[in-house]
Amino acid sequence: MNFHPFILPFSLGAIVLFAIIIYKYVSWIKKLDRKQKYFVNKNMFTFKTIQATGEVIREALIHRNIYKKNPVLGYMHMSLAFGWFLLIVVGKTESSFYAGTFFEEPWLAIFFRYFAREPHEYFMATQFTFIMDFLLLVVLSGVLLAIIKRMRSKFMGMKKATKHSTFDRIALSALWWIFPLRLLAESTTAAITGNGGFLTGSLGNLMSGLPVQALELPLWWAYSTVLFAFFVALPFSRYMHIPTEVILIFLRKWGATAGEQYSGLSDIQINACSRCGICIDACQLNFAADINNVQSVYFIRDTRYHNLTDDIANNCLLCGRCTEACPVGIETTLIRQQMRNKAEIPGKHYYDYADVPDCNSKPEVVYFAGCMSHLTPSIIISMKKIFDAAGVKYWFMDEEKGLCCGRPMRQQGFVQQSKDLISKNMRMIHSSGAKVLVTSCPICYKSFRDEYVLEIPVLHHTEYIEKLIDSGKLELKNSGKSIVYHDPCELGRGCNVYDAPRAVLKEIGELRTSELEKENSLCCGGSLSNSVIDLATQTKIRDHGLEVLTASKPDILATACPLCKKSLVHGNKVIVKDIAEIVAVNIVNKKQPKKVQTAKNMNEFEVSYK
């Protein structure tokens, strides 16, 4: 039997690693919520599983996503992950050929050169030796890049690298040593037995002056020991992302997504975080306000180790930029929302006092302006004008006795309160018998789409205006103004509405682009989701955003969210208008619209345009 005591640390480490991973997998899967389990059962034995396997190869081994974002960083990951994977696969094949059976000692492949000392005569021995040396070289190049990245993260195009925990440091140091030690151990053996390839053999020749006989065993012991250290530290360190990402990819392909409450999938997602720190660079709190200890990577780390503080959980704009940037696809904002959830009081209702009206007027459209639009009355007045010009019969649901849509409560973790509001609003909406619900506020819009179970479709007013134009009910004239559009977080990243606002704006003026658009757009700073930062910090975020948005010096900065409008207006840099306002002053009158009580406002608005 090919045995030497130095294989023991490795074997022990491997057994511990597999035991822990299996234990974790099982407990996570048990903790999946009902919806997630339903999707797993439904899709497990479908084509989706094959697709997921392909994605595992692309993302977990080749790291295509990271490669696309940053080629050097991508190569580093690929050389380490895919290189090591091939070392194991090719090494196992080689040792099986050598032993003449597939069931040789499991450690043989790992310490192959030590045991296979005699001249190689098994199938393709020379080729195997070459390939194994080549793969080792590839992995070593990855290790070298990793070390450079630690020293100078800017080299990798990253401004901030993540700060590490103790387990991370143990695992990281072990990982750095595994392959250099393997190289040295194999080269020493090669110096003695002459079984090396172009890399180990050459290094062996160089070592011929050294006391190789005395060095050989200590080096193999060291190699086995660092493997032990890496395996044992791995489940408690950020390297847990390696086995976890695989299961995440399968679950995601099967259709499981983060729900309202923290679940097994949330556990899997936070363990799948490699702490690469890409989210730090994406975060406006970091680059516009110099706050760099609250980003998703730290939030996830603290959640995983159960020492999350309110200050970190609540210090987030929930803008979704990090979710967009995350190469692993972790639903960072949703998990943060789950961690903000407050305890529920069974049976408690919060808004029994709120007396809300039913609708008796049989409208085509229910219009819900939202609390924030009530603070920007010009948007409401513009919408009234648009409805009237298009001849649409609408019911203004929250004109006098409206309730909040529930989303701000939800974002702060008051789920029960939010549900109370939702049920009251749903009753009102359905009482109208209307065919469509239109809202002016992207925050409400996201809530209606995701949290409500509505019998009728919901549209943001930009989408609704686009439909009115397409159906010929609304005719607009071109104002000749240059316009830059600011994507509100909740409308863009939140609801994937990017094209309708742009289509409408193209009808009224010259639409210009800005540097950060659509998925990459910035938060205006006025987010209701962050209860930690003060106004001065919000102002920094806003002013940085304004600088980006007005780089092309547009006549008008358009947005589609009352909250964005309010925060951007106070920057005092450019005329800021909601799309509805710009539309309302550029309507071509087919028939005389009903006089809306706004004459003064509209005239003033025209003046400020000239």
How many residues belong to the chain?
610
The count of other CB atoms within 10 Å of the CB of residue 496 is 11
Cβ of residue 583: shortest distance to another protein, in angstroms? Answer: 17
Q: Tell which one of 93, 531, 586, 601 touches another protein (CB under 8 A).
A: 601
Q: Tell which one of 189, 332, 537, 539 touches another protein (CB under 8 A).
A: 539
The stretch among 1-9, 184-192, 328-336, 370-378 that binds another protein (CB under 8 A) is: 370-378
d(CA 584, CA 599): 12
The stretch among 26-34, 114-122, 376-384, 484-492 that binds another protein (CB under 8 A) is: 376-384
The stretch among 323-331, 339-347, 375-383, 389-397 that binds another protein (CB under 8 A) is: 375-383
Residue nearer to another protein on the CB measure, 194 or 377: 377
Residue nearer to another protein on the CB measure, 129 or 529: 529
Tokens of 119: 């001249």
d(CA 417, CA 425): 13
Place of tokens 């993260």: 153
d(CA 70, CA 224): 33
d(CA 225, CA 120): 27
The stretch among 108-116, 153-161, 508-516, 562-570 that binds another protein (CB under 8 A) is: 562-570
Residue nearer to another protein on the CB measure, 332 or 376: 376
d(CA 468, CA 476): 10
Asked if 586 and 605 count as a contact pair (C-beta separation under 8 A), the reply is no
Instruction: Give the interface size with another protein as a residue count (CB under 8 A).
Output: 17
Kindly state whether residue 354 participates in binding another protein, applying the rule CB under 8 A: no
d(CA 160, CA 153): 7
Kindly state whether residue 48 participates in binding another protein, applying the rule CB under 8 A: no
Cβ of residue 601: shortest distance to another protein, in angstroms? Answer: 4
Torsion of CA 182, 187, 193, 199, to 10 degrees: 110
Where do the H-state alpha helices sit in 166-211?
166-193, 200-206
Alpha carbon separation from 491 to 315, 459, 497 (Å, rounded): 21, 11, 6
In the three-class reduction of DSSP (H, G, I as helix; E, B as strand; rest coil), residue 256 is classed as: coil
Query: What are the φ and ψ backbone dihedral angles of 398, each rounded to 5 degrees?
Result: -110, 35
Residue nearer to another protein on the CB measure, 193 or 601: 601
Residue nearer to another protein on the CB measure, 376 or 411: 376
Cβ of residue 599: shortest distance to another protein, in angstroms? Answer: 8
Residue nearer to another protein on the CB measure, 146 or 563: 563
Kindly state whether residue 600 participates in binding another protein, applying the rule CB under 8 A: yes
Q: Tell which one of 512, 570, 575, 586 touches another protein (CB under 8 A).
A: 570
Asked if 174 and 9 count as a contact pair (C-beta separation under 8 A), the reply is no
In the three-class reduction of DSSP (H, G, I as helix; E, B as strand; rest coil), residue 255 is classed as: coil
Q: Tell which one of 310, 344, 604, 606 touches another protein (CB under 8 A).
A: 604
Cβ of residue 407: shortest distance to another protein, in angstroms? Answer: 19
Q: Tell which one of 203, 219, 265, 381 touches another protein (CB under 8 A).
A: 381
Q: What is the DSSP string of 459-490?
A: EEHHHHHHHHHHTTS--B----EEEEEPPPTT
Kindly state whether residue 355 participates in binding another protein, applying the rule CB under 8 A: no
Residue nearer to another protein on the CB measure, 474 or 563: 563
Q: Tell which one of 16, 548, 569, 575 touches another protein (CB under 8 A).
A: 569
Asked if 379 and 580 count as a contact pair (C-beta separation under 8 A), the reply is yes
Distance, C-alpha 509 to centroid of its chain: 34
Q: Tell which one of 200, 332, 376, 432 touches another protein (CB under 8 A).
A: 376
Kindly state whether residue 311 participates in binding another protein, applying the rule CB under 8 A: no
Cβ of residue 535: shortest distance to another protein, in angstroms? Answer: 5
Kindly state whether residue 535 participates in binding another protein, applying the rule CB under 8 A: yes
Residue nearer to another protein on the CB measure, 53 or 531: 531
Residue nearer to another protein on the CB measure, 514 or 598: 598
Among 51, 70, 35, which residue's Cα sits nearest to residue 264? 35
Residue nearer to another protein on the CB measure, 15 or 375: 375
Cβ of residue 13: shortest distance to another protein, in angstroms? Answer: 57
Cβ of residue 420: shortest distance to another protein, in angstroms? Answer: 18
Kindly state whether residue 597 participates in binding another protein, applying the rule CB under 8 A: yes
d(CA 601, CA 382): 10
Kindly state whether residue 375 participates in binding another protein, applying the rule CB under 8 A: yes
| Distance linking the first and last C-alpha atoms of the chain | 91
Cβ of residue 408: shortest distance to another protein, in angstroms? Answer: 15
- H or E stretch including 365? strand 365-368
Q: Tell which one of 274, 378, 417, 521 touches another protein (CB under 8 A).
A: 378
The stretch among 241-249, 277-285, 358-366, 567-575 that binds another protein (CB under 8 A) is: 567-575
Cβ of residue 514: shortest distance to another protein, in angstroms? Answer: 24
Residues 6+ apart with CB under 8 A from 587: 385, 386, 389, 474, 475, 476, 477, 593
Cβ of residue 326: shortest distance to another protein, in angstroms? Answer: 33
Map 319-340 to HEC letters. Answer: CCHHHHHCCCCCCHHHHHHHHH
DSSP 596: P
DSSP 592: -
Torsion region of 484: left, alpha or beta (phi above 0 gives left; psi -120 to 50 gives alpha) = beta
Residue nearer to another protein on the CB measure, 118 or 355: 355
Cβ of residue 567: shortest distance to another protein, in angstroms? Answer: 9
Asked if 187 and 304 count as a contact pair (C-beta separation under 8 A), the reply is no
Residues 6+ apart with CB under 8 A from 181: 219, 222, 223, 226
Pattern 65-94, binding to another protein, x per CB under 8 A?
------------------------------
Kindly state whether residue 528 participates in binding another protein, applying the rule CB under 8 A: no
Q: Tell which one of 37, 69, 374, 573 touches another protein (CB under 8 A).
A: 374
For Cα atoms 425, 429, 433, give the angle at the middle one, nearest 5 degrees.
160
The stretch among 97-105, 406-414, 496-504, 600-608 that binds another protein (CB under 8 A) is: 600-608
Query: What are the φ and ψ backbone dihedral angles of 273, each rounded to 5 degrees?
Result: -75, 125
The stretch among 152-160, 374-382, 496-504, 586-594 that binds another protein (CB under 8 A) is: 374-382
Q: Tell which one of 341, 566, 575, 586 touches another protein (CB under 8 A).
A: 566
Positions that interact with another protein (CB under 8 A): 374-378, 381, 535, 539, 566, 569-570, 572, 597-598, 600-601, 604
